[in-house]
Amino acid sequence: MTSMASLPLPGRPDTLVIGGHTDADRVLLTPRGELVRGCARILAEKLARLPAGTARVDVDMSGVHFMDTAGLEFLEVLRDHGRRRSVPVTATRWNDQPRRILELAGLDTTDPLRSSAPEGAPSPTVSAVALEREERLHLLEEEVEQLRRAIVSRPVIDQARGILMATYGCTSDEAWHILREASQLSNTKLRAVAEALTAGAEAEGAPPPEEVRSALSRALARRSSR
């Protein structure tokens, strides 16, 4: 069994690293990290360095924890490699968020390189296929953007939960429900409520706006009465 070196993305911390090994004429690739912009180039460079005589390429995707629309380019590079070299190529073991992106894109979540159309079935018109792909990509992009916003918001929300837990002796789940209820009562985004609370807890920080203070008080009062 021959070891194959990983290929990190130059100029930034290991966004995607592709490791793997060869066994006879079969290659197993093991990407780790994120399928974002630049991932298709990393894969193309990796595939170009495969040993001569490679008769099969399998890709274990279990190490990929995030994927945006660039992941579709990653798959296209794999598909194109299989066609040009006339070798079977698979991409299996998808998890969590990347698997959801495959669902939105209308791809097989077991192996998106496998055709989902039954053998011998008539192909839909090009315009219908293009329209469906456009709609699916729009949904995919919206969901990825929502996830990105959630990732950015999480630190300040966690800080606000910590303040509530320390101040009122509530649990982490209770603090989350208080923040969410205050957001609903004040018609304010959850992130804005969390930012106002954490800013007000600083030594010279301004207190939260009146509507947020009132909503937090009501949410806390409801918790105490339960």
- Residue 180 tokens read as 């969410």
Angle between helices 210-225 and 190-201 (to 10 degrees): 90
* pLDDT greater at residue 120 or residue 73: 73
Report pLDDT for 93. Answer: 96
DSSP string, 157-223: HHHHHHHHHHHH---HHHHHHHHHHHHHHHT--HHHHHHHHHHHHSTTPPPPPHHHHHHHHHHHHHH
Residues 111-133 have a mean pLDDT of 52
CATH 3.40.50.300 fits 2-115, yes or no: no
Residue 183 has pLDDT above 60, yes or no: yes
AA identity, residue 199: A
Q: Read off the pLDDT band of 129 (50, 70, 90).
A: very low
The reply to whether the predicted model has a pTM over 0.75 is: no
Instruction: Tokens for 55, please give them.
Output: 């008769």
Q: Where are the domains of the chain?
A: 2-115, 130-225
